[in-house]
Amino acid sequence: MSMTFKLGATVTGLLLASSAFAETSATAFTDLNLRAGPGVSHDIVGVIPASQSVTVDGCLEASNWCRVSYGETNGWASGDYLTAMVASPIYANREQLAVETVTYEKDPDSAVGGSVTGALAGAILGGPAGAVIGAGLGAGLGSAVAPDERVTTYVRENPVDPVYLDGEVVVGAGIPEDVTLAEVPESEYHYAYINGTRVLVEREKRQVVYIVR
């Protein structure tokens, strides 16, 4: 069965280290950002497509961020959206999954793109459960979910103020009520710039329906 890595709240500013555990293979169950560091303030260096496998080098002890390799790209991904195959039904914990523990230290000589200053504006709603709903939404509606080029061009050419929320941005995630959404003229979409990612949002449910890469 599948077990989901769920490791708690974000932790940064620690020393990168490793333990004796072996590397673990995992699968992203939704399109998942691959970031330069463990947290939504770090640059996006790639995208792990849904159902694609990654190698998990290890996860932070007190955080839901894991250091992974996808193809030739190394980075960090939210462990809430990675699943690992295990031989028998067991409680989801890293020891039984043999997931290595790592820590992280920010390089003092490097700047983090789009870094957060001050408190986060709130939290992504729904989490992994929302991503499962999002996957069903995409499967059910197919190409109807994908906006036309006019919409994506408008979003790219009309940037809005960035907002940072606790949690990774995926299709199906919910956006808090206090986050302002901008309207795309003559379309059904609204949009926002959340955690360094442009997202299209269904206005009534305030649910992410498309990520503009």
pLDDT tens by residue, the chain, 213 residues: 344 443 332 222 222 333 334 567 888 888 999 999 999 999 999 999 999 999 988 888 877 899 999 999 999 999 888 887 543 222 244 455 555 666 677 765 554 444 444 456 678 876 555 555 445 544 444 334 689 999 999 999 999 999 999 989 999 899 999 999 999 999 999 999 999 999 999 999 999 999 999
Q: What is the pTM of this model?
A: 0.71
Is the domain of 135 the same as that of 169?
A: yes
| Helical H segments across 21-160, by residue range | 94-97, 127-141, 149-157
Is the domain of 153 the same as that of 203?
A: yes
Helix H or strand E encompassing 166 = none
Task: Report DSSP state, residue 187.
Answer: S
Task: Give the C-alpha separation, 167 to 124, whole Å.
Answer: 5
Task: Give the C-alpha separation, 143 to 145, whole Å.
Answer: 5
pLDDT of residue 101: 66
Task: Give the C-alpha separation, 20 to 63, whole Å.
Answer: 19
Is the domain of 70 the same as that of 143?
A: no
Q: Is residue 31 part of a domain?
A: yes
Is the domain of 132 the same as that of 185?
A: yes
- The number of domains in the chain is 2
- Give residue 181's domain range: 127-212
User: Which residues in the chain belong to E strands, given as ranges?
Assistant: 2-4, 24-28, 32-35, 44-48, 53-60, 65-70, 73-78, 82-85, 101-102, 162-163, 182-183, 189-194, 197-202, 207-212
Is the domain of 189 the same as that of 133?
A: yes
pLDDT of residue 126: 67
Q: Is residue 113 part of a domain?
A: no
pLDDT of residue 127: 59
What is the torsion angle, in degrees rounded to the nearest 10, for the CA atoms of residue 112, residue 117, residue 122 and residue 124? 0
Is the domain of 89 the same as that of 141?
A: no
Is the domain of 27 the same as that of 94?
A: yes
**Where is the domain boundary, 34, 69, 102?**
102
Q: Is residue 108 part of a domain?
A: no
> Domain with 23 in it: what CATH number?
2.30.30.40
Please provide the distance, in angstroms rounded to a whole number, between the alpha carbons at the two ends of the chain: 32
Q: Is residue 80 part of a domain?
A: yes
Q: Is residue 110 part of a domain?
A: no
Q: Is residue 120 part of a domain?
A: no
**Where is the domain boundary, 85, 102, 119?**
102
pLDDT of residue 122: 77
Q: Is residue 162 part of a domain?
A: yes
Is the domain of 131 the same as that of 94?
A: no
Is the domain of 65 the same as that of 13?
A: yes
Long-range contacts of 47-54 (CB under 8 A, 24+ apart): 47/213, 48/77, 50/135, 51/27, 52/27, 52/28, 53/25, 53/26, 53/27, 54/25, 54/26, 54/27, 54/28, 54/82
